[in-house]
Every structure is written in C-alpha cells, then in structure tokens.
Amino acid sequence: MIPQEPSVPATAGGPVLAAVVVLAAGQGTRMRSSTPKVLHSLGGRSLLGHVLAAVEPLHAGATVVVVGAGREAVEQHLTRIAPEALPVVQHEQNGSGHAAAVALAAVPDLDGPVLLVNGDAPLLRAATVTALVDAHRAAGNVLTVLTAEVDDPTGLGRIVRDDSGAVRAIVEERDATDAQRAIREINAGVYVGDAAALRRSLARLGADNDQGEQYVTDVLGLLVVEGAPVGGVLAEDADDVLGCNDQRELAARRRTLNDRVLDDLMRAGVTVVDPLTTWVDVTASVAADAVLQPGTQLLGTTSIGAAATVGPDSTLIDTEVGAGASVVRAHCHEAVVGPQVSVGPFAYLRPGTRLGTGAKVGTFVETKNADIGDGAKVPHLTYVGDATIGRGTNIGAASVFVNYDGVTKHRTTIGEHARTGADNMFVAPVTVGDGAYTAAGSVITSDVPPGAMAVARAPQRNVAGWVRRRRSGTPAAAAAEAAENRAEAPRDGRSEASGADTEQ
C-alpha cells in the first residue's frame, strides 16, 4: 500500500489546501462562439468566475488556472477578477489529465492536498467543495472524487463501488457493462488529492482511447491498483456538478442559478412577484421587504434597500436604490437613487446620476452625471446632463441642459427651491440662483441671481393673413377663412330682435 501523502493542517492561518487547479483550456467548440467557453457569462459572473468564487473560501495556498483556447482573453479576465491566480498555458489540448500535469509542473514545490475542478461548472457551491475537502481529510484518502446521483446518467462516467461502498473505478459509458450503465451515481469531475500522488499517477497516464487523450478519471484507477485509499463524496444537490457545453446548457444553467438566487431572496423576506421574469445577479443584493415586480433585472453590483419597489419592466446595472424608493419602468446604470425617491416610468438614469432623499425623476427624463438634491423634481420630458440641482427645486417640462459645446462638457447649477419654466434651455456653464424663476420658453445663457425672474425669449409677433397669402388652397387656409367669416358675421340675429324690443 502506498503511504498517505502529508496534508496541510487545517489550523488558523494555514491553508486547508495547498492549491486549487482550475482546468479552463478547452476549445468549447459546441458553444459555436468566438468567445472562449469559460468566459461566457451568467448571473453576473463568467463560468470561470463562478468556479473561482466557489473555491475562494478554501483559501488555498495557490490558485492555478490552466488556459489554452483564447488564452489572451482568459488571462486578461483573470487579471480583473483574480489577479493572484497563476495562469498556466496548455499549448496542446491533450485531455484533462495532461492539463492537470501541466498545472502541477508549474508549481513543482507544491506539497499537500490539491483540488482539481473544471472551469465550466457555474453551479458549484462553496459548501459542496468544502464538504468534499473535509471528507477527504477526515477519511485520510489519497484521492477523493465528488459524485452525484442523477435521473439520467446517459453519456456520463459511472462511479463503481464495491460491496462495502468503497469507490473502485470510474467507468465511461462507452466502456461500461449493462449493469454499470444502470448506475445513477456519476463522476462530477471534481477531485481532491495529494500533490505527490497526483504527480506520480499523472505521469503514468496513457492515451489509449478514442480521442487519444489523457484523462484525470484514470488517476483513480491507478491509485486503486496501487492500494492507495480513495473515496467518493456525494453532492447534496446534483445541479452543483452540471457543466456547460453549449448555448442550450448555458441557458439552463442560467435559469437554475437565477432560481437559486431568487429562492434565497424570498426566504430572506424579499417579495418577488413573478420569479419567471425576474433576474438577479449573484453579485446584487436586496434587503428584506423590498418588492421586485415582473420584468425586473438587477445586474452587477446593484443593491436595493428595504421596502423599495423596483419594476415592473426595469433594468438596474451597478445601481444603488435607497430604502422606500420606487423605480418603475426605468433603465438605470451606475446611478445612486436615494431613500424615498420616485423614478419613472420610462426614465433613463445614466452613470453619475445621484438622486437625493425624496427626489423625483419622472416620465421620459434622461439624466447623466447629475446631482439632484433632496426633494427636487424633474417630472417629465427633460434631459439633465452635467448638472447640480438644489433641494426643493422643480424643473419644468421639456427642458434641456445643454452641456456640450462640441469639444468640452460644461456644468449647469440650479439653486435650491428654484422654479424653472417649461421648455427651457440651460446653456452651460450657467447658474440659476436659489429661489429664482425662469419663464417658460426661455433660453438661459447668463447667470440668474437668487430670487430673480429670468425671461429669455423674443416678443411674440403675429403676422395677420399670412396663411391666406402664403398657403392658399390648403386645409389650413380654408379653416382660417371660415373662422374669419364667423368672426365678421352677426352672432345669431337675436341682438337685432332684442334691439327692436327695446325700442318698443
């Protein structure tokens, strides 16, 4: 019997694992996409990102990611989401066993337990891999494989156990007997094993199979022959081990992941009116008593405060919504919506928008890089770009903050408790003082002092008879002529009769 390889003690400050190896070099040809397989996204992370998030709580001494197909893009992605990870290139994709050997060769001094996991398992949870590692350590195994029981094991490797329940082999379907094909316990493709035993077994792998590749599954068989202690741990939820090989499976994993997120939210006191049309990324957060109406999408780092209502038909990306706020049929991106704020319907909050407590952004309003103060209102049909609006101010309908001169953006400042008229243009840079008013239809190009009324429009001039002369023969000319004739005719004849009566 081969002696058990030493493991890293699970002491405070020491890593439970010597390393995590993520196999992420596959071509992913069935995805039919120019995007590398592990970079396809669901629930706010890439496939690879979900796997790294699942193993992060293990605090491994090293994280090695084997890259191959689309490696430049994968390495750039790793730099953003896991800069401490070590990318290792598998120049030729010769199977999972070859990939694992390449990874271990990159960290030759590694000693202790190593977790091997595929990079396309987005439903894998930290609790599942932690249970695997704990069981491996408790049993004193050299290798432990994660397994799952599924209703339909077609196409998957079967876990073969002896009469005592010990794992003896992983048999691929094409090599299985009829009795083995009936087994519902399958290989999940996640292993924890001691580094030295893995190195030794990986070096002995052959490629005597249809694909001519080396497979990690064969490591277990080699260790069993040696008499080394091996084991298997059954995943609590079979969905945890599901991979993702094509766009249909990606959609199915996306649905399962979203169902999990919504289930957790509802258990925590969030009202989700229609889970089938509500999508929440794993990176978003929602407080208790919030209400998510149908058609809501909470993406990225979006956070929703207590008792806030979002939706229906709203998409929020990296947006903060305060307690008690309402966001209805709106699109918000990198915005801050304060407590008790009302947004929408049909509003567009662009990056840099900040709405103070009790503010309102109404129907068909677009904001960008705008600070809108407490209780201020922009009710409808307005563009507010690069602006500061003071508390208690009301912006009239159909106003435009003219912030761009063709080269540079400029800022408009509206003071507190100001009242601006409908159809105003604020040509930045310009300031409207506290308590000031602006008249409807004004183009404000100069500063308005506090408490003043600004009128910036040409006097109205009526050109009589213009339609009759310039639009002769049109319906407008006919209507105007009829109206003029009615104005010139006696009202209804009763005035003459009344005059005669008076004379009598």
List residues with catalytic annotation.
380
Pairing of β 320-321 and β 271-272? unpaired
Distance of CA 312 to CAs 43, 291, 332, 343, Å? 20, 10, 13, 12
Closest by alpha carbon to 265, among 277, 240, 282, 252?
282
Cα–Cα distance for residue pair 46/38, rounded to 1 Å? 7
Instruction: Let me know: does 320 contact 298? Beta carbons within 8 Å.
Output: no
Instruction: Let me know: does 25 contact 90? Beta carbons within 8 Å.
Output: yes
Instruction: Let me know: does 285 contact 306? Beta carbons within 8 Å.
Output: no
Cα–Cα distance for residue pair 370/356, rounded to 1 Å? 11
DSSP label at 440?
T
Instruction: Let me know: does 45 contact 121? Beta carbons within 8 Å.
Output: no
Cα–Cα distance for residue pair 117/102, rounded to 1 Å? 14
Cα–Cα distance for residue pair 384/335, rounded to 1 Å? 14
DSSP label at 320?
E
Instruction: Let me know: does 183 contact 177? Beta carbons within 8 Å.
Output: no
Buried b / exposed e over 223-237, threshold 16 CB at 10 Å, is: bbeeebbbbbbebee
Closest by alpha carbon to 213, among 100, 102, 97, 119?
97
Query: Which residue is listed with tokens 């903060």?
Result: 320
Cα–Cα distance for residue pair 246/238, rounded to 1 Å? 19
